[in-house]
Structure formats: structure tokens, C-alpha cells
Chains A and B, each alone.
Chain A
Amino acid sequence: MYHVALHVFKESVRDKVLYNLVLFAVLLMAVSFLIGQLTAGQDVKIIKDLGLAAISVFGLFIAIFIGIGLVSKEVEKRSIYALLAKPVRRQELVAGKFVGLALTLAINIAIMAAVYFAMLAYYGWTEPETVQRAWEAPAADPRLLKPIVLIYLQLLIVNAIALFFSTFTSPLMAAAFSLGLWVAGHFNADLRAFDTVVDAPAAGALGTALSYILPNFASFDVKSVVVHGQDVPLGFIGMNAAYAALYIGALVIASAMIFARRDFK
């Protein structure tokens, strides 16, 4: 599994798409910096908010576009034949693919986070103290690491979703399903309360059932809280991490089970 994970990491690192995505994320953060400077009063909050959004969106692109190719590209390009003839269990291969992309994501998020903090620190350093006194929290607030950790956990779920679909569908379908679940996952709370807004009990029950099956990404989103200088308790992060671990575990096991019985024509 370890060798497969390292191979995925090497593959991702050599993929030009990855560099383009990181570059775009850094550019977007720089743009948020400019927008912030043009906006009186709310500047630091806008920089913080847009920076976190950039990390989240570009992390999502990396998770989906690399995740969907993890297995399907091997099948499409036929490199899977020689690989599966080696003494590697198919389940190990799936787990290795997940770990490899999780590692790639971690490094990319770390790079984007470093740029984000450097930019905030520079902004804080250039602003006069009188302006800084009006801020709810310092520019390079260490508490901003918490939403970044939560973004990473969300992306790990997306990675597992992309991997799951890539074990039995084409890359295009896997991308569509993964993006669809990402969007649906952000409306999970609305789905859970669906029975309170509809008269039909069956539709309400279906909405509730779906809310338990679909990932709940809304609970990971604490950007607005942290940007306004409020703290996120560690217990909250722990609960979300446990939820992510369970969800990812179920998806990776399901992916491994599908992959283990798949025919490669």
C-alpha cells in the first residue's frame, strides 16, 4: 500500500494540472488582497474569507480531477494489467491510491496555507496600529488553521467519493457524481429539515434518509465564524474528524469491494 501511495504522490507531483491549480489558488488569494485594499473597513475579513474560499475551491478541483483518474486512468490506459499481475491485493491498491492522494492534498493545502498566512502577515505588518485595533482578530490569526484543517477533512471525503466512483465509472461520470455530491452535501441540513417544509410524509422521510446517506459538508464550514474572530472548539473539530473518518472508511471499503470483483477486459 505504501509503495502505491508513493507512486500516486509522484504521479500527482509530475502532473502539470496540479501546478496550474495551485498557481490559480495563489493568484486568487492575491486578487482577494487587492479587493480587500479597495474595501474600506471590511478589508481584512474579505482577505481572510476569499483566501479560505480559494483554498477550498482549488483543493476541491485537485481532489476531484486527480481523484477520478486514480483508478479509471489506469484502466483506460491499460497500465492496470501489469500492475495487477504483481503481488499486490486489489484492496491494498485502492487504499494506497487514497492515501497517495491524501498526501498530495495535504502538501498542496500546506503550500496554499503558507501563502495565505504569509499574505495575511504582510497585510498586518503594513497596516497602521490604529486600523488594526478596529479588527476583531489579528490578520495572521493562528485560529485560521482550524477552518483549513476542516477544509482538508472535507477534501478527504471528496477524495474518497471520487475514488469510489472511479472504481466503476468513466472519469467524466465520476467527476459529475463527485461534484454533484459536493454541492448536495452543502445543503444537507436543508434536506434533513425537508419534512418540516413539505406536506407529503413520504417525501419528507426520503429527504431525511438522504441526508444521512449524503455527506454533510455544511458542518465543516466555519469560515464565517473564524473570520469574525470567534474560536472553533477543538471538540467540534474532533467530531467532524470522526465523522470524516467514518464516511471515508465506508467509502474506501466499498471502493475496495467493488474493485476486488471487477473484470478488466
Chain B
Amino acid sequence: MIRTEALTKDFRAGFWRPRPRRALDALDLHVEQGEIFGLLGPNGAGKTTTLKLLLQLLFPTSGRAELLGRPAGDTDARRRLGYLPEHPYFYDYLTAEELLEYFGRLFGIEPAARRRRAAALLDDVGIGAERTLPLRKFSKGMLQRVGLAQAMLNDPELLILDEPMSGLDPIGRRDVRALITRLHGEGRTILFSSHILSDAETLCSRVAILAKGHLAASGTMRDLLSENVRGWELVVRGLTEPARAALAARGIDAGALPGGTWLVTLGPSTRPEPAIAELAAAGAELVSASPKLETLEDVFVRHIADDTRAEGARA
């Protein structure tokens, strides 16, 4: 569905600086049909540059990109994809309905179908009531919703969404997550960039982590998130001071929580059962016991840190 080979983009740093700044360095990426693929990375990692290269809003310095079996920028491929830009902005003097009408014409959609689809999409993204308001009166979150509606106008096979949750309140984010899940359920392929890791963790089947223009890691969530338990967290009530001191003597930390409870943290090499028995014997009541698993945030921070170290070593 999407394939890049050694995709590289340099930007001129300024008229007097002949050495360009490398925004994307030899990116190899492939997104299969029917996937929700997350492109993750901190600000300036090259996420938006990658998406713009896929849409030929930028031209690569070297390497190649292919979408829907055609080279990036192909007009027929654009007929089959939808794109939501980062912080979308449209024409002030048009209403949401007129914007979709204009874009619908560019897709060659018949007038009756165009009107029907525009109305349905605006309802779908929750701004049906504001369809006749000029876009200059729209808030950032409302523009984001219009952006999503225009991206779905041509019933695309592939959706490329640049920071789709940006500018949305918690309800808006929940709605967009539900929308992405529904679109995926309809068989569409979705590539989105984000720096909100919880969204990616919830939605994506595969992710790629970019750091300073490099591909730091990629794979399925299972590949990236180690299934090994990294420790246990026990919440207990009624922990006495002698029992806490006994735990501390063995290097087990117990911190006070609100409501008279304590959080006992066990390392990866300590099984929870003996500790639970010991605490019960000391008169403490077990409230909960949960394993500590690696999160996408842990993976993200680890890879970004690794990449920064590697770059430091190269320098």
C-alpha cells in the first residue's frame, strides 16, 4: 500500500549556509493493506516530512516513495487517498459545506452524490449544525473535524492523517479514535503520525519510531513491547512500620499512597507470592497486585535515547 526506499530529504539551511539540514535519512518503510500504521516521534523527528514526501508536497533529495502501487504524486493514486494535514486551515470565506463541495468537484464526484456525501460526513465528524458557517468562525478543533471530513470525501482506500488528534479536546480525541477504528473496520488502510503515544498504543497494529530523521525502530506492537514482566506493584493497607522497615532492609521500596494505603514495588527478579504472604503475616491487607509491563512510552523513550547516544558517538 505504501513503500519507501531510502527516502531522504535535505533542506537548505539558509542562503549563506551551503550545508543542508537532513530532515529525513534513508527511510525504508512499508505499510500493508488494511493496517493502522503509526508514525511516531518527537517534534522535528521527520514525521510530517515523511507524509509530505508521500504526497509529493515535498520532493525527495534521493530515494523513492510509492503509494497504492504508483509513484508518489501520481494523480490517480491521489484519487484513492485522503489526507489530513497537520493543523489544517482552509478558505476563510467558504462554509464547511462549500469547502467539501469544491473538493468534491476536484474529485469529479457527481453533484447529487457530492451534496449527500458532504452532509453525511459533516454529521459524522460532529459539525453538521455548523455546515453553513464561514470557516473563519471555526475553532481549531472544528477545523480539525472539517479536515477529517474532507479527507474522507472520496471514500478513500488509504488515509494519511498528520497528527489527527492535535487541537482536539478529550471528547474530540475519543471521537477521532472511534472514527479511525471504524474506518479501519471498513477495510481502509490508515497511516497516521502522532506524538500522543497512548493513541498509537490503542489504535495501531504497527508503528515506526522516528528520531532526528532516522528510523529508530519499527514493528508490530508485540515486537516492540516486551512481554517480559518488569516487576510487580502491590497495593496494601495496614502496613506497620516494622514490616515496612523489614521490606526496606531487603531493598523493597514501600511508598505511602492516599487513603492509608501503601505501594510496594518489587523488581523483575522478585516473585510476588512470598512478598504477599510475608505482608499478610505482618497484618497487612492486600488491595491489588499488578505486573509492570513495558509501555509504548518506555519503548519510545528508550529508542529516542539510544538514537541520541548513537548520534553523539558518531559526532
Contact = CB atoms under 8 A, between A and B. Distances in A.
B90 A79 contact: yes
Contacts of B76: 87
Given A7-B102, A15-B93, A265-B11, A87 B107 contact: yes
A3 B105 contact: yes
Interface string B199-223: 0000000000000000000000000
Interface in A66-88: 77-88
B58 A3 contact: no
Contacts of B55: 84-85
A89 B77 CA distance: 12
Interface stretch (B78-86, B180-188, B260-268): B78-86
Nearest to A85: B83
B308 to A, nearest CB: 24
Contacts of A11: 91, 93
B57 interface: yes
Main secondary structure of the interface of B (DSSP, over half): mixed
A86 B57 contact: no
A14 interface: yes
Contacts, number: 70
Contacts of A133: none
Interface string B99-123: 0001101111000000000000000
A263 interface: yes
A87 B59 CA distance: 17
Contacts of B88: 78, 81-82
A81 B106 contact: no
B52 interface: yes
Interface string B145-160: 0010011000000001
Contact of A87 (B78, B147, B150): B78
A77 B136 CA distance: 12
B157 to A, nearest CB: 14
User: Most A CB atoms within 10 A — which of B76, B78, B82, B85?
Assistant: B85
Nearest to B90: A79
Interface in A18-72: none
Contacts of A83: 106
Contacts of A87: 75-76, 78-79, 106-108
Given A87-B79, A263-B58, 19 more contacts: A3-B105, A10-B93, A77-B89, A78-B85, A79-B90, A81-B83, A81-B88, A82-B90, A82-B147, A82-B150, A84-B57, A85-B78, A85-B81, A85-B85, A87-B78, A87-B106, A88-B75, A264-B52, A264-B58
Interface of B: 11, 52, 55-59, 75-76, 78-79, 81-85, 87-91, 93-94, 102-103, 105-108, 147, 150-151, 160
